[in-house]
Amino acid sequence: MPITSEKLIAWLQRVGQVLHEQREYLTQLDAAIGDADHGINMDRGFRAVVEKLPALASADSGTILKTVGTTLVSTVGGASGPLYGTAFLRAGIAMAGKQELQEADVVALLAAMVEGIQARGKARRGEKTMLDALLPALEAARKAEGEGLEMLQVLQACSSAAEAGMKSTIPLLATKGRASYLGARSIGHQDPGATSSTLMLQALVETYR
Ligand code: ADP
Ligand code: MG
Ligand code: MG
């Protein structure tokens, strides 16, 4: 079963709820290795996204994703606004005109997000960023899709890989973003951006089910 635009909107709504519920948690993670605003940033950004969703009820997936991107760029400051903003903008361009997304589209969507984040932030795997959740998620989705698995399994594989990637950031030394200012003191803490990325993908499985 594909992801319809209706499901895509339901997912974004759920992301808004989850990021609101996890606002303190994300902020605490950022307090340890950053400036204690990641939960605030993500909650602000997705609150603005959720406000735009009713007007997008009959839009195609590409338009919906692009709107998320422009909204995040204009409402979220710091590193995560432009990074997630570019990710969703690129995803929107990749999904232009599509009314529903198939398994291969999900892979292309994630690939576009990762490319956007890397074009903007120049980080690679292992630098303790959101990419440590999103790169394994992309690989898992690609593998599952390549094996011919159905949407739910593709999304579950993707979400589980993100979660493992998120946990893998704990022992890493941060070499990008604010956390890199801490040097070795960044070790032993979970990356906030890898956590918000994982929450988004977990919400996708939940909404799709
Ligand atoms: P800021 O650090 O400006 O306060 P946030 O706290 O909202 O912004 O976001 C911090 C998160 O952004 C980090 O946890 C990390 O995952 C992500 N991040 C920072 N720099 C980069 C980068 N160059 N590439 C990818 N992700 C990054
Ligand atoms: Mg911060
Ligand atoms: Mg900040």
- DSSP-assigned beta bridge partners for residue 100: 4
Band the pLDDT of 77: cuts 50, 70, 90. confident
Please check whether residue 108 is in contact with residue 94, taking contact to mean a CB–CB distance below 8 angstroms: yes
Domain borders along the chain are 3-208
Q: In this predicted structure, what is the pLDDT of residue 151? A: 98
ipTM: 0.99
The CATH code that applies to domain 3-208 is 1.25.40.340
Q: Is the pLDDT of residue 182 over 90?
A: yes
Model confidence pLDDT, tens digit, residues 41-64? 999 999 999 999 999 999 999 999
Q: Is the pLDDT of residue 187 over 90?
A: yes
Average pLDDT value over all residues in the chain: 97
What is the Å distance from ligand 1's center to 160 Cα?
22
pTM of the model: 0.97
What is the Å distance from ligand 2's center to 35 Cα?
4
- Choosing from 117, 118, 129, 190 the residue with most ligand 1 atoms within 8 A of its CB, the one to mutate for a pocket test is 129
Percent of the chain with pLDDT over 90: 99
Q: In this predicted structure, what is the pLDDT of residue 129? A: 98
Considering every ligand atom shown, identify the ligand nearest to the alpha carbon of residue 44 and give its number.
1
What is the Å distance from ligand 2's center to 198 Cα?
17
